[in-house]
Structure formats: C-alpha cells, structure tokens
Amino acid sequence: DTAVSQTPKYLVTQMGNDKSIKCEQNLGHDTMYWYKQDSKKFLKIMFSYNNKELIINETVPNRFSPKSPDKAHLNLHINSLELGDSAVYFCASSQEGLADTQYFGPGTRLTVL
Amino acid sequence: AQSVAQPEDQVNVAEGNPLTVKCTYSVSGNPYLFWYVQYPNRGLQFLLKYITGDNLVKGSYGFEAEFNKSQTSFHLKKPSALVSDSALYFCAVRGLDSNYQLIWGAGTKLIIKP
C-alpha cells in the first residue's frame, strides 16, 4: 500500500549517460514534485506539476525534464549526466491547496561516476 | 522574500529530557507551516502542520509544535525524548506567493543520547 513509490532505489551510471527515475502515487493527488537532496541534506525543489501547469525551478539545468504520462505518474529524465548530479532525488505528491500536505517517496540515490 | 530558518545545525538532548527544534519563517500573508522528519536513508515523513486555530499543534510520535505569530516561529517540541527520535528534522512553510511550493529550512540533526 505504498503511497508514493520510486524506482529504482539506487542508480549508478557513467558521466554522459541518459537516465530516468520513475515515480507513482496512489493517493489521487493533483500535484507531483521532484526534489533534489544534496550531500549536505539541503532540499531543493526542482519541479512541481499538475494537469494545468508545470513550474520549473529556474536553477534546474534543462538536462532535467519531467514527464507525466498521467496524473498518477511523474518521471524524471536526465540527459548527459554530470558528476554534480549525484544526489538523492525525491518524488512527492499533494493536493493543490495551500494547506495540503506533501507526501514523499523513499528516494532514489543517483551516483554518477 | 519568503524564507525559513532553522538556526541550529544540530541539537543534542539526553534521553528522557524535553527537546526543542527551532524554526522561524518569513512569508506573505498567513503561513501554512509544516514539520517533517527524515530517518537515515529514508524519505521525509510528515509530522504535523499548522493551518489556523489553536497555536499548539499535536502530531505524530508525541511531537507538538507551537505557532507564535509575533515571533514568526514554529518550534517543534517533545516532552520526553527517545533515542529513536534521532533523525533530521525539516521545517517548511507555504505562503500566498509561493506558487503552492513549500519553502524548506536547512534541516536540524537531532541526536538523543542514552
């Protein structure tokens, strides 16, 4: 009964490769998010997306692109991976209201060699 | 500009003692405030939130938080700490101008010593 799930849990890859991380939520939420947590544990919002709008953090390189096949899924595609992309990536979901809680997936640890 | 500050990188508390993890914020309009906990190698878990009403909010695992509008603070508290409370705690806020996104603090590492 996992509410927000991500695959894979670990991803090790070479510089220059293209990879995807998948996220699914079964909470019926309208909005999904991708976060990056760096080695110092800082959380940085990368994208938020619902069926109306994609909001992109302007600091995110355009090598990162979210893809949503339907309301329950928001995948993260990364082109031309760089060493600095190594981090833990978290997917989250919530309803649209200001008071609504975000629920997080377990994270994907990406290591770029 | 909207912001959240967690002024302590780390808080050390002896088991059984009360604990406080501090959070102050700056947002436009009324704030919506959240606390999350992250255990090692895990995702973030929701603890509690303040929307409106009673300034003392009770949450999971015996935690509570007190909203103080005049001091723009939302400190996390627990009367008696457990070793299992050791984790990373994040405060977050959402205001009118945030585009529904949460503004996150840097996190506070809580260490409970037996």
pLDDT (0 to 100) of residue A1: 62
- Give the Cα separation of B9 and A42 in Å (integer): 12
**Are A93 and A4 within 8 A, CB to CB?**
yes
The answer to whether the CB atoms of B107 and A42 lie below 8 A apart is yes
- Find chain A residues with C-beta within 8 A of B34's C-beta: 101-102
Q: Write the pLDDT tens digit of every residue in B23-50.
A: 999 988 889 999 999 998 889 999 999 9
Q: Which of A4, A48, A101, A109 to mutate to test the interface with B (most CBs of B within 10 A)?
A: A101
Sign of CA dihedral B78, B82, B85, B86: positive
- Run means of pLDDT, 10 residues per run, chain A, 113 residues: 90 97 95 94 91 80 92 95 97 87 96 97
Chain B's closest residue to A38, CA to CA, is B106
Contact A10/B at CB under 8 A: no
> A103: part of which helix (H) or strand (E)?
strand A103-104
What pLDDT is attached to residue B98?
A: 67
Q: Which among A96, A98, A107 has the least Cβ separation from residue B32?
A: A98
Distance set, CA B6 to CA A38, B10, B54 (Å): 17, 10, 23
Tell me the three state secondary structure of residue A97.
Answer: coil
Task: Check B42 against A107: CB less than 8 A apart.
Answer: yes
pLDDT tens-place values along chain B, 114 residues long: 789 999 999 999 999 999 999 999 998 888 999 999 999 888 999 999 999 889 999 999 999 999 999 999 999 999 999 999 999 999 999 887 766 788 999 999 999 999
As a whole number of angstroms, the distance between CA A113 and CA A8 comes to 17
CB contact under 8 A, B100 and A41: no
Q: Which residue shows structure tokens 């110092």?
A: A40
| Residue at B81: amino acid letter | A
pLDDT at A55: 80
